[in-house]
Structure 1
Amino acid sequence: MPHYMHYLFSIQVGLLFLTSSLCLSTKAQDYRCPPCEKSNTTYLCRSLPTLGAKIRLCYYNTTPNATLDVVFSMAPLLPVDWVAWGLNPVHAQMIDSQVLIAHRNPDKGVNVSQAVLSYDTKHGCGRVSRSGFEVNIYRASANYFEDSRTMILYAKLGLPHWCNSTRLNHVWQVGPGMNRGEPLRHMMRLQNFDSRETINLTNGHVLGHKRKSLRKAHGILGIIGWGLLLPCGVITVRYFRGLPFDCHLGSRVHAGFQICAYTVGTVGWAIGLSLQADHFATFRAHRIIGITIFCLATLQMLASFLKPTKADRYRHYWNLYHHFVGYALLSLVVINILKGFAILQPPKIWEHTYIGLLILLASIAFVLEIVTWVRFYNLTFEYTFERKIKLPPRPNAGSLVPHHPPATHS
């Protein structure tokens, strides 16, 4: 193995270690909320990970039926928006959830209604069903506070037999108002899709945040692999080819960057491919572009092993193909990374940092492009000038040695 391949392998391992260390999940912070009515209860009070929601749960494991006191709060964008919270008997998902929906009346009062969400409800194809609600509601009310623009839902529920205190699946949501008593469809964002989790009421542990960590890993690996290492490899092969101290350095550095970019990017692509299975219809464009990027990158890697020699007459066509696919790949990468920022909606510093790095790379490429063209025109001018004045051919090294006639002896 050449010596520089050891350095490339070390770089790949270091990049993977660095990005994996950045993908740790964060736990939601607690917040102040009212105490439970009775002692000897299981108490859970926390901020939920999405939509700015907060919840307080008081679990009473009484005989024969367990009860659950709920205080759920959320600040909707508009006062007419509806707010919902509910339980699911099987999984932490929207389908088959039994929810309480709080919404304002035209007279600015607040109503609380119950509903069972079906598959048709999820896709906006049917009305919300009121039948099949198995959770016993002992009391349910809600208030909207104008000063803080917060909707607070209060409920005391009798839990059915399928509610397991060690795995309580609950969901929450917010939507843009009501239409003839039916809640309008909520926004199709990850914040809304991730409004679900599983709670262990006995110890307060929360499950279901592994997917968020995988999304962070997908984004970070995609940015580093496709978004940074790939354009760096293009810059090196275009502007550092044929350096005076090593004519093969540009090609070797280019190959190293592209191997690292393909390795890191493919790992991120595989993670993203597994994550979007649930929301393929919503993020179809992002996924299709990602698959196209992987296919084009694979073709580029395979093409490097089928590169014709300089004497081959097909070398010119291979260069055209390789350059066209490479620049098309870079364009798709930038578009898809920006789409990923719009989907994940991370802190703005991530998007601004990436755009700043793109501007930096583009500026470097612009300056090097100017230097390349200036050098090209200078060489062209020197060649044309020499041909016009028809300079004699330069003498070889032997002709520069002065010739002395042999000495004669008188």
Structure 2
Amino acid sequence: MARMLELVLSLSILMSMIFSSTAQSCKGYAFSSNKIFRACNDLPYLNSYLHWNYDSSSNKLQIAYRHTGITSSRWVSWAINPTSTGMAGSQALVAFQQTDGTMRAYTSPISSYQTSLQEGKLSFDVSDLSATLANNEIIIFATIGLSNTSTTVNQVWQDGAVSGDAIQVHATSGANVQSMGTLNLLSGESSSTGGNDRIRKRNIHGVLNAVSWGILLPIGALIARYLKVFKSADPAWFYLHISCQSIAYIVGVAGWGTGLKLGSESASIQYDAHRTIGIILFCLGTLQVFRSASKAKT
């Protein structure tokens, strides 16, 4: 039974690392259209990613904006704001699936926060505009002729509901009001309203869980498995085992709590597999610690 728990625990750790590393990265993504983009950025809100090619000599920007975890009853948008970092004044690319099953992609200048994303001409040239929907992911493709020579742009991205073929107002809380920031087209460096704090919390969450479930807990299990056969190590091996297990659990609880905090701050983002594995891992870790504690009492 103990060996089975160790096996399940090891597999859960491995799967958790795989899901957490692949679910939140644009690197390595292959477009079905065989398009290649030299740069990409993981946007910190709304399950979104931006891929681009920038030609500084012609000031042309070729983009692919990916919005994952989306359904056919939702619209998505990515925009550049030439004048500020907010939504008002943004020059948007909008896409959604119409009731006849076809994708509609169009441009929409946003003059105020009270907008229904009406189609209109932008302040810069847009060509090759198209959109696809597959595997719960909408991708907007476009080539943009930037109107200034600055390599840093203000970007805004968004999603919302669609009723029939009519776009509805997006949510006005949580991630939907934080999905904006700046992007350096040459270096790839970006910043977002509240994004730096979220990325810091996400990194802390990953480090705490990797150290606890991925390092300390397996070390504790290895101590119990291999050192107890040496009579000279008794009872030191047991206290080392208990120490590793206890520290791992405390650090793991901190990591789990950080994950819960991140989830509560981003209700629109769901990593179901990652969350399920985390719950299973936490339960198995709790059982392991209680089992070790009961042995210590006896």
Provide, for residues 201-238 of structure 1, a one-character-per-residue CA deviation record: whole Å limited to 9, x for no partner.
2x342223743442135547999xxxxxxxxxxxxxxx
RMSD across aligned positions (CA): 5.1
Deviation at 1:184, TM superposition (A): 3.9
Is 2:160 the partner of 1:175?
Answer: yes
Contiguous gaps of at least 5 residues in structure 1: 1-25, 37-42, 224-256, 265-329, 372-410
Q: Which one of the candidate residues 41, 48, 57 is aligned to 2:42?
A: 48
Bigger-Rg structure (1/2): 1
Counterpart code for 1:56: W
Which residue identity is paired with 2:160? G
Gap change, CA 1:117 and 1:186, over 3 Å in 2: farther
Secondary structure (helix, strand or coil) at the match of 2:202 reads: helix
In structure 2, C-alpha distance between the alignment counterparts of 1:73 and 1:337, rounded to whole Å: 27
Once residues 197 and 179 of structure 2 are traced to their aligned partners in structure 1, the CA distance between those partners, rounded to angstroms, is: 12
CA 1:28 to 1:152, structure 2 compared with 1: closer, same or farther past 3 Å? closer
- 1:153 aligns with 140
How has the CA–CA distance of structure 1 residues 55 and 132 changed in structure 2, closer, same or farther, with 3 Å as cutoff?
same
Contact map agreement 1:52 1:74 (CA 8 A) in 2: yes
Structure 1 residues 46 and 218, CA, compared in 2 at 3 Å: closer, same or farther?
A: closer
Name the counterpart of 2:150: 164
Q: Distance in 1 between matches of 2:78 and 2:120?
A: 17
Give the TM-score normalised by structure 1. Answer: 0.41
Q: Higher helix proportion, which one?
A: 1
Determine what percentage of the aligned residue pairs are the same residue: 15
Q: Look up the equivalent residue of 2:197 and give its one-letter code.
A: R
1:394 corresponds to: none
- Structure 2: 5+ residue runs without aligned partners? 1-23, 210-245
- Counterpart Cα distance in 2 of 1:44 and 1:334: 34
The answer (yes or no) to whether the contact 1:142–1:151 under 8 Å persists in 2 is no
- Distance in 1 between residues matched to 2:177 and 2:111, nearest whole Å: 14
Secondary structure (helix, strand or coil) at the match of 2:65 reads strand
Do the aligned partners of 2:103 and 2:133 also contact (CA within 8 Å) in 1?
no
Distance 1:52 1:58 in 2: 19
2:75 to 77, 82, 86: 82
| 1:216 alignment partner in structure 2 | 202
Would you say the 8 A contact 1:31–1:45 is kept in 2? no
Report how far residue 69 of structure 1 moved: 3.2
Structure showing the higher strand proportion among its residues = 2
> 8 Å contact 1:139–1:155 — kept in the other structure?
yes
Aligned partners of 1:184 and 1:103: how far apart in 2?
14
Q: How many residues align?
A: 229
Counterpart pick for 1:342 among 240, 249, 263: 263
Q: d(CA) in 1 for partners of 2:138 and 2:94?
A: 11
Contact 1:140/1:153, CA 8 A, preserved across alignment? no
Cα distance between partner residues in 2 of 1:338 and 1:27: 18
CA 1:214–1:136: 2 relative to 1, 3 Å: same
Alignment-derived partner of residue 240 in structure 2:
none
Residues in 1 aligned to 2:129 and 2:190: alpha-carbon distance in whole angstroms = 28
CA distance in 2, matches of 1:362, 1:175: 46
Deviation at 1:29, TM superposition (A): 1.0
Q: How far off is 1:87 after superposition?
A: 0.8
Pick aligned residue for 1:206 from 175, 184, 189: 189
Amino acid at match of 1:46: C
Return the alpha-carbon distance in structure 1 between the equivalents of residues 42 and 256 of structure 2: 32
2 CA distance for matches of 1:336 and 1:137?
47
Which amino acid in 2 is paired with 1:153?
I
Task: Tell me the CA shift for residue 137 of structure 1.
Answer: 3.5
Cα deviation, residue 47, structure 1: 5.7
Q: CA deviation at 1:78?
A: 1.7
In structure 1, distance between residues paired with 2:49 and 2:255: 33
Contact 2:160 2:167 in 1 (8 A): no
Aligned AA (1:107): D
Instruction: For residue 108 of structure 1, give the secondary structure of its aligned residue in structure 2.
Output: coil
Higher relative contact order (CA 8 A, sep 6+): 2
